[in-house]
Amino acid sequence: MTQEVFKLRQGTSPLLISMPHVGTLLPDDLRPAFSDVGLQVDDTDWHIEDLYDFAGELGVSVIRPFYSRYTIDLNRPADGKSLYPGQNTTGLCPLTTFDNVPLYKPGMAPDQAEVARRLPLYWKPYHAALQAELERIRSIHGYALLWDAHSIRSVIPHLFEGELPVFNFGSASGESCAPGVAEALLRQAQELAPHYPAVLNGRFKGGYITRNYGQPANKVYAVQLELAQRSYMEEQAPYALDAALSGKLKPVLREFIRSYLAFKPS
């Protein structure tokens, strides 16, 4: 298989932004198995690239996939182990939407052999490139910063109660980055956008990418930001970007990234 499954743009700064859920493609050989709902790829992290379009100006590296999380979820461990035991979530090859609606036609959901087939085609190339880019950055700067960029609908009763805060920072409960870094980002959010609720290590503490690659002992630091989509777009199909809202949000995100770039490990 020679088709491209991700795009990496290398920068000059110590920071890499990962966007593991922005892909919208479904492989041609899998499309017949998906339900009409599955074909809509509703649970995409819509417009994240647009929100972070300033990354190049700041010398930030960016990696993103082309294929939907419905093909395989790049922010889940390869063994499929749940990141949130006891809570509703979706797996490595999701079988349902966030609303618990089947993604596949009856009898056509992937079995273990099919999941194993997808891993080297879609999951492993992305992670190999992500790891290599972090190592390249660390070899140049002596350390590497990782920002895992996400978004999600504000209200999903199957996954969480009530309305999600707009800014959901995750540091794997403090294990993926240096002490005080995520806390400073939370304070900054409260200062720059006090009208938007913000939380640290709430419902979303950081997925596999944040937890696996954030290794402060090895000079790699990771933070996840899960945005509630009401802050920049329409949360119903066709999921249009709201220019007025996104225009107000982008400068705040830019300041988050500038602040994160200013971090220098001791």
In sequence order, what E strands does the chain have?
6-9, 15-18, 61-65, 144-152, 167-170, 198-200, 220-228
Q: Which CATH class is domain 6-262?
A: alpha beta
221 bridge partner residues: 145
Q: Residue 149, SS3?
A: strand
Q: What pLDDT shows up at residue 2?
A: 43
Edge-to-edge strands of the sheet including 167-170? 6-9, 61-65, 15-18, 144-152, 220-228, 167-170, 198-200
Give CA–CA dist 196/98, Å, rounded.
Answer: 23
Domain boundaries, the chain: 6-262
pTM: 0.96
**Structural tokens at position 199:** 């939380």
Per-residue pLDDT of the chain (266 residues; tens, 9 = 90+): 446 999 999 999 999 999 999 999 999 999 999 999 999 999 999 999 999 999 999 999 999 999 999 999 999 999 988 888 888 889 999 999 999 999 999 999 999 999 999 999 999 999 999 999 999 999 999 999 999 999 999 999 999 999 999 999 999 999 999 999 999 999 999 999 999 999 999 999 999 999 999 999 999 999 999 999 999 999 999 999 999 999 999 999 999 999 999 999 98
45, 151 contact by CB (below 8 A): yes
- CA 56 to centroid of chain Cα atoms: 18
